[in-house]
Amino acid sequence: MSSIFNGRSLALACVAASLTLVAACQSGRPAAPAASSAALPTMERVALGASGCWFKSGDAAFKAYRLAPELNSFSGRPRILIVPRKSPESRPLAVVEAEGQPARLQAFGPLMSEPVGTRIAADVRRWAAGGKGCS
């Protein structure tokens, strides 16, 4: 009778060990990757958001303007420019740039003091933090 209990004990021990190994191999859902906070990836997110929400959507507030991204900056300050639609070579009306790790954003230009400036600032903050969508 002792050998029966030893056999059962051994079987139970094997089952418990197997379950422990299987549980150890499984992981929960992988965590979503955090949005990179470096200047270039931050400005890439901002440029994609601006392009889709302000310009490609046909937003009336931005009809008179054009987006001019300058993400490949050798100065370490990737930026986007908002320029007049009919005169893209003229002085930018708004500049949004980032620098450093974590990125420090700065937005400036005459358009930032117009009513649309508060929307630009809010959208840029949201996209820089990894948010999606349009306001």
32 has a pLDDT exceeding 50: no
pTM to 2 decimals? 0.73
1 has a pLDDT exceeding 70: no
Q: Where are the domains of the chain?
A: 38-129
How sure is the predictor about 9, in pLDDT bands with cuts at 50, 70 and 90?
A: low
Instruction: Give the Cα separation of 6 and 74 in Å (integer).
Output: 73
Residue type, position 57, single letter: S
43 has a pLDDT exceeding 90: yes
How sure is the predictor about 114, in pLDDT bands with cuts at 50, 70 and 90?
A: very high
Let me know: does 74 contact 105? Beta carbons within 8 Å. Answer: no
- Tens-digit pLDDT profile for residues 64-93: 999 999 999 788 899 999 999 999 999 999
Residues 119-132: what's their mean pLDDT? 95
Mean confidence (pLDDT) of the chain:
83
What is the pLDDT at residue 53? 96
| Proportion of the chain above pLDDT 70, given as a percent | 74
Nearest alpha carbon to residue 44 among 22, 12, 69, 61: 69
Task: Kindly write down the DSSP assignment for every residue of 77-103, as one continuous string.
Answer: --EEEEEETT-TTS--SEEEEEETTTT
15 has a pLDDT exceeding 60: no
Residues 96-122: what's their mean pLDDT? 96
